[in-house]
Amino acid sequence: MSSDVTLVRDLCGPGARQAARSLYRSYGGELYGFALRRLRDEGLAEELVQDVFTRAWRSAEQFEPSRGSVRTWLYAIARNAVIDSERRRGRRPPLSAGESGFEAVDAAEPIESALLRYQIQLGISRLTFEHRQVIELVHFRGLSLNEIAQQTGLALGTVKSRLYYATRSLRLALEELEVIR
């Protein structure tokens, strides 16, 4: 994380573009995913990501590591940019899920809640298929370990250890995303 702080510092100097490139490659994808989830418009989502990095570059001098991580800072900028974008869009309602091809999203959901939900989903998406599957079966479908073993054809001991490593991986992913500490 300290390298991210250095990159933000570099935004203020001659290495600004290289620093912006590195920050974009670390965070641009997930910020775009959040923007698209919230705005449900690919063009607006792209504009928003550009806006986030432009704002970050402009305000890099004010970044204070003691107040939070670079990720927290960028997401705070993104949150404000989303609010501005939604205000500009005004009364025009976003496309419904069927029209846009995106997942149904509650447009009235407070942005903090939407952001947390997105980050958890992002953490889950970083798991392997096998780990996501065992979590889906045990938590969302309520199967016992024996039932999972029967359904998947795995040995019971394998199911136990797979669930254990899946939860550890999920916890690590959520720690990296700063959802939990």
Question: Could you write out the DSSP letters of every residue in 91-103?
Answer: TPPPPPHHHHSSP
Q: Which of 53, 56, 55, 61 is nearest to 12 (CA)?
A: 61
| 116 touches another protein by CB under 8 A | yes
| 180 touches another protein by CB under 8 A | yes
Burial classification of residue 16, based on how many CB atoms lie within 10 Å of its CB (0-12 exposed, 13-18 middle, 19 or more buried): middle
Shortest distance, CB of residue 42 to another protein, whole angstroms? 8
Contact 19, 10 (CB under 8 A): yes
| 73 touches another protein by CB under 8 A | no
> What stretch of H or E contains 89?
helix 70-89
| 8 touches another protein by CB under 8 A | no
> CA 50, 54, 60 angle in degrees (round to 5)?
140
Residue among 66 and 82 whose Cβ is closer to another protein: 82
- Sign of the alpha-carbon torsion through 35, 97, 125, 181: positive
One residue of 120, 149, 152, 176 binding another protein per CB under 8 A:
120
| 97 touches another protein by CB under 8 A | no
Token reading at 77: 């900028």
Shortest distance, CB of residue 65 to another protein, whole angstroms? 19
Shortest distance, CB of residue 101 to another protein, whole angstroms? 10
| 79 touches another protein by CB under 8 A | no
Interface residue list for another protein (CB under 8 A): 11-17, 20-21, 24-25, 28-30, 32-33, 36-37, 42-47, 49-51, 53-54, 57-58, 84-85, 88-89, 103, 116-117, 120-122, 124-125, 127, 132-133, 135-136, 138-140, 143-146, 160-161, 163-164, 166-168, 170-171, 174, 179-180
